[in-house]
């Protein structure tokens, strides 16, 4: 190997490592600050962890984070706020949003998106919504929280993942 070939090989290895880092261990920004996981509430209000059982339908497909009403909710990634999300089809006061980029698709519930933000591009860490108090719907035994649902985009569609793997 000539000196230039060695430099080229070394540069290639560094670039490959960087690409692998970007695509496989990329972390996301906190959805709220501080990032406090919701534990289990009393009175059968359920638990906030990913995979927690739910008596109505399947398992909990997101991770809940403790909030107080009105606190800012941040974009976890640089991407586009593609739509508002409504966790309850029959009760539209409870809102949220979908944010996505080429790699991820996130659904966030129990927050009011900033006016005019739907359809716009945002940077990771931007304020994109304000938390609601979901205990007002389910009862004071529930810890107010937002719900973060994470999907990885793949060539064949989206795959639900545990948001905890991204922090
Ligand atoms: Zn949840």
Which residues are bridge partners to 108 per DSSP?
97, 148
- Looking at the domain assignment, is residue 13 inside a domain? no
User: Residue 19's pLDDT is what?
Assistant: 65
Distance 145 CA to ligand 1 centre (A): 8
Question: Which pTM value belongs to this model?
Answer: 0.83
- Looking at the domain assignment, is residue 7 inside a domain? no
Helix (H, G, I), strand (E, B) or coil at 19: helix
Whether 163 and 62 have beta carbons less than 8 Å apart is answered as: yes
Q: Would you say residue 34 has pLDDT above 70?
A: yes
Of 37-46, 78-87, 89-98, 104-113, minimum mean pLDDT range: 37-46
Distance 88 CA to ligand 1 centre (A): 13
- Looking at the domain assignment, is residue 142 inside a domain? yes
Distance 17 CA to ligand 1 centre (A): 35
Distance 54 CA to ligand 1 centre (A): 10
Helix (H, G, I), strand (E, B) or coil at 3: helix
Distance 50 CA to ligand 1 centre (A): 8
Q: Would you say residue 18 has pLDDT above 70?
A: no
Distance 3 CA to ligand 1 centre (A): 56
Distance 63 CA to ligand 1 centre (A): 6
- Higher pLDDT among residues 49 and 56, named by residue: 49
Distance 80 CA to ligand 1 centre (A): 22
- Higher pLDDT among residues 58 and 117, named by residue: 117
Q: What digits encode the pLDDT tens for the residues 88-100? A: 999 999 999 999 9
- What's the rounded mean pLDDT across residues 78-95? 97
Distance 6 CA to ligand 1 centre (A): 52
What's the total number of domains in the chain?
1
Of 21-25, 100-104, 142-146, minimum mean pLDDT range: 21-25
> Rounded to a whole number, what is the distance in angstroms from the first to the last CA of the chain?
42
Tell me which residue range forms the domain holding 161: 28-166
pLDDT band of residue 22 (cuts 50, 70, 90) is low
pLDDT band of residue 8 (cuts 50, 70, 90) is confident
- Looking at the domain assignment, is residue 144 inside a domain? yes
pLDDT band of residue 44 (cuts 50, 70, 90) is confident
CATH code for position 99: 2.70.70.10
Distance 62 CA to ligand 1 centre (A): 5
Question: How far apart are the C-alpha atoms of 128 and 112, rounded to whole Å?
Answer: 9
- Looking at the domain assignment, is residue 108 inside a domain? yes
- Looking at the domain assignment, is residue 6 inside a domain? no
- Looking at the domain assignment, is residue 110 inside a domain? yes
- Looking at the domain assignment, is residue 151 inside a domain? yes
User: Residue 7's pLDDT is what?
Assistant: 75
């Amino acid at each position: 190997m000539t000196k230039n070939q060695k430099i080229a090989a070394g540069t290639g290895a560094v670039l490959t490592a960087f690409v692998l880092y970007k695509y496989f261990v990329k972390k996301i920004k906190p959805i709220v600050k501080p990032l406090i996981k919701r534990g289990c509430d009393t009175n059968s209000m359920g638990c906030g962890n990913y995979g927690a059982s739910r008596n109505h339908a399947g398992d909990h497909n997101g991770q809940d984070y403790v909030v107080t009403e009105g606190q800012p909710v941040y974009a976890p990634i640089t991407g586009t706020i593609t739509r508002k999300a409504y966790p309850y089809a029959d009760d539209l006061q409870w809102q949220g949003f979908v944010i996505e980029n080429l790699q991820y698709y996130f659904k966030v519930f129990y927050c009011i998106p900033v006016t005019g933000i739907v359809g716009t591009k945002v940077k990771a860490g931007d304020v994109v919504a304000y938390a609601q108090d979901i205990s007002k719907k389910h009862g004071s035994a529930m810890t107010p929280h937002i719900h973060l649902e994470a999907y990885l985009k793949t060539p064949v569609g989206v795959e639900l993942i545990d948001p905890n793997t991204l922090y």
